[in-house]
Amino acid sequence: MRDKILIIDDDREIVDLLHSYLTLYGIPNQNILKAYDPVIGLNTFNENQHSIISVICDYYMPKASGAELCEIIKKNQPSTFLIIQSGDKEIKQENLNYVDAVIHKPFPYRKFEIILKQVFKV
């Protein structure tokens, strides 16, 4: 069953915020995976790809960009819903081939909830 969400971000405060938003939405703690590094994030995805429904990834990270990471993930598991987050307002979904949603930081819970409804098709 695909019911896990993977958060990949090098900023621990953002990871904690997203974790809080996901639990507020009703996602159980055991279904939220976290990685603070893109390489570890990709390894985590590869180990759990058949149970991950969505990946929330920062655009700017050391070692790899979120766009590169999303491209690799989408090629391996096309049905995974990929969300890029960034404070850079110039980053647009229409410019990112492998991304299903873009959300700009800072974002309130209600804006994030709209994207989660797309993930779970509610």
Tokens of 79: 């049905």
Distance CA 107, CA 3 (A): 23
The radius of gyration of the chain's CA atoms, rounded to the nearest angstrom, is 13
Q: What pLDDT digit, counting tens, does each position of 21-73 carry?
A: 999 999 999 999 999 999 999 999 999 999 999 999 999 998 888 999 999 99
pTM of the model as a whole: 0.94
Distance CA 104, CA 75 (A): 24
Distance CA 56, CA 74 (A): 13
